[in-house]
Amino acid sequence: MYVTKADTAGNLCQCELFDVVLTNLPDYYWVWLDLANNLTQLRESRKLRNLVHKMPVLSPHLLSNHRELRLAHLALGFISMGYIWQEGKHAPAQILPKALAWPYWLAYNACVSALVDVRSYQLSIVTKYIIVPGNKAHGMGCPLSGVGTGLNTAGTGGSSLMVFLNSTHNATKKALILEKSTV
């Protein structure tokens, strides 16, 4: 799948949407990928939960880019599902151990935080290049009807552009799972 985007000089280029599929993480995280890669056998032999309990508590903070975070989140998600359902539907695990839940939560929030940053960037670009210039043109008496009013604030479907971008930004921000304070 390809997407057209502008490079840093503003030139349009066609780039792969998911350009590189990552299959490995730094060695520090080998246990996550080892469990994820052997998930079916470990679950069927009922060894997964025991190995997860022996797993060290690792932090995803050493992951250096979004591809590594995405792979870590994916691996931890599969391990979590295997852990929960290892004993079948009659005895699902009710709580994930810290060695699994904590890095999964951190990786999830790091991914969502990156999306919040993208949404913030979208808002700043639309404001800088559409809203502000449109309002300046309107203020200078631009004869084109709609400039500075409806044209620069409505999306192609007629929806309010800033309302839409703000709502997606806020909805993404709400997806963060906040830490509960302990008393």
Q: 3-state class of 142 per DSSP?
A: coil
Query: What confidence tens digit (pLDDT) does each residue in 76-135 have?
Result: 999 999 999 999 999 999 999 999 999 999 999 988 888 888 888 888 887 777 777 777
Please report which confidence band the pLDDT of residue 17 belongs to, taking 50, 70 and 90 as the band edges: very low
Asked whether the beta carbons of 28 and 58 are under 8 A apart, the reply is: yes
For CA atoms 8, 10, 13, 14, give the dihedral sign.
positive
Is 143's pLDDT higher than 90? no
Kindly list the domain boundaries of the chain, sorted by start residue.
22-174
What is the per-residue pLDDT for 1? 43
Please report which confidence band the pLDDT of residue 139 belongs to, taking 50, 70 and 90 as the band edges: confident
Tokens of 49: 């939960």
Does this model's pTM top 0.75? My answer is no
What is the per-residue pLDDT for 104? 95
Query: What confidence tens digit (pLDDT) does each residue in 35-80 have?
Result: 999 999 999 999 999 999 999 999 999 998 888 999 999 999 999 9
pLDDT, greater one: 60 or 17: 60
